[in-house]
Structures are given as structure tokens and as C-alpha cells.
Amino acid sequence: MGRALADGVDCAYICDIAVHPGYQGLELGKDIVSKLAALSEDYRKIILYANPGKEGFYIKLGFKKMNTDMAIFKNQSGAARAGLISKD
């Protein structure tokens, strides 16, 4: 499963990509991300949120790491412990 959210003009955001462990390795994740990216191709930018350790998967699909990403989490300390944000 996965979803894309968009503002209608400038930016599409791909998120919540998940494949049941029993079906991983069958390229279903690649198919989901590729389909969502194709549906979003008319936007100026497509932003994707990746869990730590999964970046290489998305790099293979053409995504690049951003230098400007920032976030505020409801549970900042939990997000830092999970490796989602830096502790500084």
C-alpha cells in the first residue's frame, strides 16, 4: 500500500509505503512507488518520506536525498530515539 498527497499545483508527497513481509522481494514496493510517482509527474517536485535504512531503495527509483528537510514531531524525543530526526 501507499499514498500520494498533493496540493494541486506544486508538490506531491508520497508516503506510507508498506508491503507485508510475506510479499517483500516481489517488487511490489517498487511498483507502488513507481505508479504513485507516475501519477505525480506533473508536479514541480515529488517529496518522499523514507524510514531510516530504506533510503537506498528509493535512490534506486530515482529519488535524491534532500539537504533542506525539517520536521516537528508530536513526540520529538521518540522521533529522535527512532532515528527520524537528529538530536541537536
Residue 72: per-residue pLDDT:
92
Amino acid at 18: A
Residue 15: per-residue pLDDT:
93
Burial class (CB in 10 A: 0-12, 13-18, 19+), 58: buried
Residue 10: per-residue pLDDT:
96
Question: pLDDT 10s digit of each residue in the chain, 88 long?
Answer: 999 999 999 999 999 999 999 999 999 999 999 999 999 999 999 999 888 899 999 999 999 999 888 999 999 999 999 888 887 7
C-beta separation of 79 from 71 below 8 A: yes
Residue 64: per-residue pLDDT:
94
Residue 50: per-residue pLDDT:
86
Residue 86: per-residue pLDDT:
85
Residue 2: per-residue pLDDT:
96
Tell me which architecture the domain covering 3-81 has in CATH: 3-Layer(aba) Sandwich (3.40)
